[in-house]
Amino acid sequence: MKRHFLKDKEIKNLELQVYGALHKKLSDLLGPKLRVESVTTPEAEIFLVDGKPLLMKTGGTVTPTLHFDRAVEILPKVIVDMGAVPHICNGADIMAPGIVGIEGKFDEGSFVVIVDERHRKPIAIGTANLSSTEMKGRKEGKVIRNMHFAGDSVWNLIKNLG
């Protein structure tokens, strides 16, 4: 594991990537002066913002983690039935038949938060294969790519960071 604090220029670059993903400035969500530390692991690069593991980068894509409460709060939600939860928490993509509701509007490629129908607890973050309008009419097939889920290697690594 390799750790270092980002320089101002690197933080600005990260902010641009976050803006592309969340359509909000990181500084608007968390305040103007951020201390960002990068933790590089074989699984992902994890960004600790003011000591909290809020972002991760895998395959060149910056993704909010499930620990990024403000992002989870503002992103559109896709509600899945309880039968889908164990599969999603084992890394499966989200299939249309498991979806029981959609909150918010989104385009293809947008980040969405997957929540279970009973507790409304966030269990995953994914990227939409379809817009929210198209997804509502879909009855079969993969509709969301699972990017990060409760219990994945990054989730477990984050629990051990300190």
**In angstroms, rounded to a whole number, what is the distance separating the alpha carbons of residues 66 and 52?**
11
The CATH number of domain 71-153, selected from 1.10.357.10, 3.40.50.300, 2.30.130.10, 3.90.1300.10:
2.30.130.10
Q: Which residues of the chain have pLDDT under 50?
A: none
- Model pLDDT, residue 11: 93
CATH topology of domain 2-67: Nuclear Transport Factor 2; Chain: A, (3.10.450)
- Model pLDDT, residue 14: 93
- Model pLDDT, residue 59: 86
Domain with CATH 2.30.130.10 in the chain: 71-153
- Model pLDDT, residue 117: 97
User: How much is the pTM?
Assistant: 0.93
Q: Left (φ > 0), alpha (ψ -120 to 50) or beta: where does 3 sit?
A: beta
Domain with CATH 3.10.450.120 in the chain: 2-67
